[in-house]
């Protein structure tokens, strides 16, 4: 399992464990599974999908290391 934290400057959008995370990275959409290699990436507008929960974002940054996923995002404007 992955330890996942997705936050905005104002609040926590998701904190918990997940089996997979799919993100709109700067080089394209990619999937993070347990034991993923360490990576840091910019996030572009799109959906961050944690298991079956989709979180729309306008941009952000993500860090993956040691089965921990941390993303700081700006939520999509309504």
Tell me the pLDDT tens digit for each residue of 21-57. 999 999 999 999 999 999 999 999 999 999 999 999 9
Q: In Å, how far from its chain's centre is CA 41?
A: 10
Does the global pTM surpass 0.85?
A: yes
The pLDDT assigned to 78 comes to: 57
Range of the domain at 56: 2-75
* Number of domains making up the chain: 1
Integer CA distances (angstroms), 42 to 1, 45, 51, 52, 60, in order: 23, 10, 20, 22, 6
Integer Cα distance of 53 and 37 in angstroms: 23
CATH code of the domain in which 7 resides:
2.60.15.10
């Amino acid at each position: 399992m992955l330890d996942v934290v997705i936050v905005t400057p104002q609040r926590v959008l998701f904190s918990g464990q997940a089996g997979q995370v799919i993100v709109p990275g700067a080089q394209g959409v990619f999937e993070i599974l347990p034991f993923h290699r360490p990576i840091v990436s910019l996030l572009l507008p799109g959906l961050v999908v944690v298991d079956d929960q989709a979180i729309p974002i306008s941009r952000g940054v993500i860090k993956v290391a040691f089965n921990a996923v941390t993303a700081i995002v700006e939520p999509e404007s309504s």
